[in-house]
Structure formats: C-alpha cells, structure tokens
Structure 1
Amino acid sequence: MHSASWDESYDYKGKRVAVVGNGSSGIQIVPALLPEVPRIDHYARSRTWISPSFGREQIEKRGQGLDNFTFTSEDIETFKKDHQAYQRFRKDVELELQSIHGITLTGHSMQLGEQEVFAENMKRRLANKPGLIDELLPSFPPACGRLTPGPGYLEALTDDKVNLITSDIVKVDETGIITADGQQRPVDMLVCATGFDTSYTPRFVIKGREGVTLAERWEQTPETYLSIATDGFPNYFISLGPNAGLGEGNLLLLIERALDYVTECVHKMQRDNIRAMSVRREAVKRFTQYCDAYFAGTVFSSKCRSWYKGGTEDGRVTALWPGSSLHSMKVLANPRWEDFEYCYVNDNVFGWLGDGWTENEKHNKITVDYLDDNMVDFPRPMNVAK
C-alpha cells in the first residue's frame, strides 16, 4: 500500500502490518490502523516533533481535551442557530493560528519558548512508555519540517501492539523486512507512507521561449517570482508552485491572493491589448536572493530532512513562502507591473486606446450612471472645532 494509492478492497483486519515513514501521512495511519490489527511495526528513519493540537486554547475552552476534539452534533446545531457564535469560534482559532510566526525565526523568544512546550507535550503523551522520548525527540527545532499535531499518534506508540523501529531498512522480500541490525520481521501488509516527489518537475512538457522546458529551467533549482511565475514562460502562472507553501499560518489565504493576482494580470492583458506578459529575469533573481537571505534566519534552514528542501537535510528552501501568510496577503495585494515585460497585439503599445468609441456606444447601450447619486463620491462634512 501507499498512502496516496490505497486499495480499499483489501481487508487488513487481523494482519501483521508494517508502516514505513513517520511524516504527516504515517503519523495519521498508525493510530487509524491500530484498533484492527494485532501488531504494527513502525519504521521511523528520522526523529520528529509532534506538535500540540492547533487551536488548542479554543479546544480547551470547550472542555473536550486536546487530542480527541471533534465537533459534536450539538455544536453543529448551535452554530446553525447562532451564526455569530460560529464566527467567533472561527476568528478565535484563526487568530491563534496567525499569531505563531515567531516560532519559525531562529532565536526568537517565541521559537525558544515553543520548543520547550513541544517537548513537554510529547513527554506527557508518551508517559506510558517514557523511554520512547529519547528515540523521538529531535535535536533540530520545531517547524524545521512540517508541523504535525498527530492526534492519537504518540498514544499509539505506547501501545504494546506497536513496535517502533529506527534501524535502517536494507531489504524487502516476499516475506517481510530486513533491517541493518540483521533482523527479519514478517509482514502481511506493507504501508509506504514515504512521501511524494517534491522536485516541482512538471508531469508533462511545458515549453517556454526558445524551446526551453520548465523541467530544464528548474533543473538546478526551482525559481519563481512571488511563487506565481518564472521568466521565459510568458502567460504562464502558477498556483502552489515553488516557494508557495507555508510552515505556519493559513495557506488558503495565500492561494486566494495568488489567484486574485493572476486575475489582475488577465484583466491588465485584456484592458491594455497585451498579447503576452512575462516576468523579468532580474525580478525572479531578486526574489530568489530575498528567499535565501530570509530563510537563513529561520528554523527551516536547520539540519533536518524536509520536503521543504527537496527531501535533503541542508539544501535550499524551495517549498515555502518567505514570510507569514499575512505577509503574503500584503505582498500579493498590488501587482508591480514594472516587474514584467510585455508584447502587444500588432506591436501597438497604444492599441488599448481603441478607435475612439466605447463598446456601449457601438451597441446602443449608452448609460449615464455617473449621475446616479449612489455613484457620486460626495465630499464628507468637516468637523469644525468649536
């Protein structure tokens, strides 16, 4: 099995299971399988931080505990009847998620304090098998890799049915797994929670100017301008491309703002009679330099194996936005048209002027809406001091 290609028809109940990988997928799979199987061999190559649950303060207020929080039917009915209560809950959780950017900055007081909080949280949840903390607690700071709350994961590791194995896998045969310490462990179902290709190599050929493919352009390092475009590929805009992810905050905001940005570009092309627009090489280069300088002062550059760095321990950070999600909203709010170069229809820079007519005039749909009081920007009365 692979976490991304699961055979739903296979009945794993009562089977001997091995789960390879303790990233975000493996952390979810282990506690999910545990109730139905007699044993799980969990192969964990790297140490990992298991963070406290997100929105923990709001969850604690609701009195359901951090690790087993679910919306009850009563909660849902309350939110249906009281929309303001739902909005308050959403905003309180969002505010908490948007207030932790400091944990990603090396040496920041929030980063140092959260590391202690994370460690205590893991020790508490591993209380039934305290010896496991020495095998799991990393030397690198939290958020170097993806933050993973993993409800139920640490508790599952303390179950007698789970065997945590940190020795390297050297061979897999038809009966089981052989590790570097010479042990062979039989298995019926091997679950590969081993990650994904994060090289940003396109799954199909995308050719830019002079026949250069995007795969060739990004062979050394995937470079972009604000995560949405790259030089040499006119009219090509990207969603969730290189340097678009977030180590904390709200990724949905970045996605929405990026799409708004692209929409503004399309509007400009329609409005200004532009055939093609392409970000300038120097703008891409400046953004790359900015990213490298920014990440040098963050926990993401610490020595840990992370998909943020293409699965390496000390490579360039190519997956993350260089800042918070609130920062991305500000940056993407107003396009810098000077960072692009343009090709105009018929090479006519003034083609946007048209022929002196408006479209409404040509189609006999003339309006004088500008006289509507609702459209008039009346001056506001001044407050005169007495």
Structure 2
Amino acid sequence: MDHYVRSKTWISNQHGGELLAERTNGKGGNFSYSNEEKQFWQDNPAAYVEYRKGLELELQTLYSKSQRSSDLQRSSRVQYQADMERRLKEKPELLADLLPDFPPLCKRLTPGPGYLEALTSPKVRVITTAIKAIDESGVVTSCGTHRAVDAIVCATGFETNPGGGFPIIGRNGVNLRKKYTQRPESYLGITTNDFPNFFQSLGPNSFQGAGNLLITMEQVHAYVAQILARMAYDNIGIIEAKKSEVRGFTQFCEKYFERTVYSAKCASWYKSSPPGSSLEERKSGRVVALWPGSSLHALQALKKVRWEDYDLQSYDGNEFGCTHPLS
C-alpha cells in the first residue's frame, strides 16, 4: 500500500490521560460505557455530575498549553515527540517525514489511534513527495515517478472557509459569505454588523481551542435566548451589533493570538487568508476560527448581554411600547 502524506503534523492520543489509556489498553480512540455504569449514573445523578466534572476539569487545566512561552507547552512538545518516536520504533526513519517544526496545537492535534503503528507495517510505503497528477493507471509525483494503483482513497479534509456555503443576505444586498471571505469579523463569534436579527453558533472566532466546546455552545444559546426574550417582551423589532464593537472584538482577537501557538507558522484550518494566497501566506493567516481565550473565559463573556454594544429599534416605532399593559 502506498500512503501519500501531504504535510507534517503532531499525532497524539486524545485528551483523557490515564482513564483513556486504561479503557483502550493504551491505544486511544473511543470506548463504550457498560450498561452497569449507565444504570449506576441514572440511579445516582450526583455521581454522574462528579464524573463529568472530573473530565471537564482536566480539559480546563490544559489552557496554558496554548501559550507560546508556557512550561506546559514546552513539556507537551517533548512528550508528544517521545510518543511519536515510540509508536514509530519499527521504522524510526519515518519520524523525520512526519514530525513538524511548528509547536503542538498550532494545528488541531490529530489523535489517529493506530495510525502511526500502521505506517510501520512492511506492507506500507510512506511517500512524502507531492502528487503532480493522476492518470488512468496510477499516481505521478512531482519527481516524475509513476506508481500503479488498483484503487485510490482520498482523505483531503473538508471545507472550513467561512466564505463557503449558502448565501445569507444582509443590508444593501451584502452576502455574508462574501464579507467573511475578505475579512471574517464578528461580535463575540455570534453576530456581525449589517446583519440585523442574525445570530449564529460557531461563527468566526468562536470555536474552542482550549477547554470544553459543548459548554460554550450551551452558553451561546442561552445568550441568544436573552436577546429573544427582550425582543418578545420589550417591543424590540431590530437588534444589530454596532460596527465599532465588531471591529473592537476582531482587534482584540488579533492581539490575543499573537502570544499563542495558534499564530505560529503552520497551514491550519483555524486561519483564514484571501483567496489565491500562497502556502506561506496561508501559514501566516489570521486566526479566525478560535475563541480568544479559554472556555471559562467564554462563559464569563457570554453570561450577560451588553445591550450598549447593540443598536436597538422598536418593533412599531414606539420606543415606549414595552410599557403597554397586557390585554
């Protein structure tokens, strides 16, 4: 089997530490809870919350790993490299082809349970030369070598560009996709100017880089619920983030990421660059996918709506419509 590798990346087991290793015999990956465990937690909700909080605590304590100069970042790099060396011990020469020069977390970690071990099989040939063409009988690499194949399996990733997808039209016919293609800007990753009454989950600068994503998604929905409640009961017809606040949040994000490993030079889907950018330009693109902080920071920022950051218009032009008694 010929295995073509396009770029280097950090291969590491998922977070979960000793628990994950114990449940998977050190192989990593997913595992199933027993019926007995499920029944125990159903009968003992407090025990389930304690277990969940334990997992959550481990995630929350990894925040400093995302900071360039932290001790945890340095020790993690040593640990990850040692783990890759161990898993490639049958073909140690592969380490040079797979080990990146950028810090861990610059790109999203790749768990890949069993992946490195599979590459050491005598039946697998790892090829790092770029693919130039594919013809009716095989693959041609940039060095001119032709390798015959019986079948080709593609694993080229997925589209994460915020400028992709179906059109969303705002004021004056502005297409949100086009706006995000040029320079993705948002307010708290939820909304943007010129798109009134529009709120989204996991918009620009909202994905969790450090911590728990699920609890931040829950908080986003609770935040939007606050807005909907006020619109329903305070006679609000239009709510729109101020342009100054959108710009302010975007600038805050850019300044924050300067001190993180996310802004190191690597081709990551966390980043965005103008269409047609070179590989080097993409490596230095703006970090537009991630929240500028930990998930606990996001919970605090999204706890309460700052109404002064929005322009509000009444539903019927009556600014005191909310004072009308219910009939």
TM-score by length of 1: 0.78
2:26 to 66, 69, 84: 66
Measured against aligned partners, the alpha-carbon deviations of 1:315-351 in whole angstroms (never above 9, x if no partner) come to 0001111111111111111111100001112211111
Residue 132 of structure 2 aligns to a residue whose secondary structure is strand
Residue 140 of structure 2 aligns to a residue whose secondary structure is strand
Measured against aligned partners, the alpha-carbon deviations of 1:209-236 in whole angstroms (never above 9, x if no partner) come to 1222213322311110000000000001
d(CA) in 2 for partners of 1:156 and 1:297?
A: 36
Alignment of 1:154 with 2:116, yes or no, is yes
Match of 2:276 in 1: none
Aligned pairs for 1:27-106 within 5 A: 39=1, 41-60=2-21, 62=22, 64-68=24-28, 71=31, 75-82=34-41, 83=44, 86-106=48-68
2:257–2:263 Cα contact (<8 Å) kept: yes
Letter in 2 for 1:159: S
How many residue pairs get aligned? The number is 316
Measured against aligned partners, the alpha-carbon deviations of 1:29-80 in whole angstroms (never above 9, x if no partner) come to xxxxxxxxxx2x22112111012331012234x464331565466x332342
Alignment of 1:295 with 2:257, yes or no, is yes
Match of 2:125 in 1: 163
Aligned pairs for 1:232-247 within 5 A: 232-247=194-209
CA deviation after TM superposition for structure 1 residue 197, in Å: 2.1
Alignment of 1:331 with 2:297, yes or no, is no
Alignment of 1:117 with 2:79, yes or no, is yes
Match of 1:129 in 2: 91
Alignment of 1:347 with 2:307, yes or no, is no
What fraction of aligned residue pairs are identical, expressed as a percent?
45
Q: Is 190-199 or 125-134 further displaced after alignment? A: 190-199
Mark the CA change 1:69 to 1:193 in structure 2 (over 3 Å): closer, same or farther: closer
d(CA) in 2 for partners of 1:189 and 1:250?
A: 39
CA deviation after TM superposition for structure 1 residue 201, in Å: 1.9
Match of 1:255 in 2: 217
Show structure 2 runs of 5+ residues with no match.
Answer: 274-281
Match of 1:20 in 2: none
1:246–1:320 Cα contact (<8 Å) kept: yes
d(CA) in 2 for partners of 1:345 and 1:248?
A: 40
Aligned pairs for 1:165-244 within 5 A: 165-244=127-206
* The structure with more radius of gyration: 1
Match of 1:373 in 2: none
CA deviation after TM superposition for structure 1 residue 252, in Å: 1.0
Residue 192 of structure 1 aligns to a residue whose secondary structure is coil
Show structure 1 runs of 5+ residues with no match.
Answer: 1-38, 363-386
2:165–2:177 Cα contact (<8 Å) kept: no
Mark the CA change 1:208 to 1:157 in structure 2 (over 3 Å): closer, same or farther: same
CA deviation after TM superposition for structure 1 residue 107, in Å: 0.7
d(CA) in 1 for partners of 2:313 and 2:76?
A: 50
CA deviation after TM superposition for structure 1 residue 255, in Å: 1.2
1:126–1:132 Cα contact (<8 Å) kept: yes
Residue 230 of structure 2 aligns to a residue whose secondary structure is helix
d(CA) in 2 for partners of 1:216 and 1:122?
A: 41
1:79–1:86 Cα contact (<8 Å) kept: no
d(CA) in 2 for partners of 1:81 and 1:323?
A: 36
d(CA) in 2 for partners of 1:52 and 1:202?
A: 31
What root-mean-square deviation, in Å, do the aligned CA atoms of Structure 1 and Structure 2 show? Answer: 1.8
d(CA) in 2 for partners of 1:212 and 1:206?
A: 8
Match of 1:17 in 2: none
d(CA) in 1 for partners of 2:74 and 2:28?
A: 27
Match of 1:12 in 2: none
Residue 278 of structure 1 aligns to a residue whose secondary structure is strand
TM-score by length of 2: 0.91
Q: Is 228-237 or 62-71 further displaced after alignment? A: 62-71
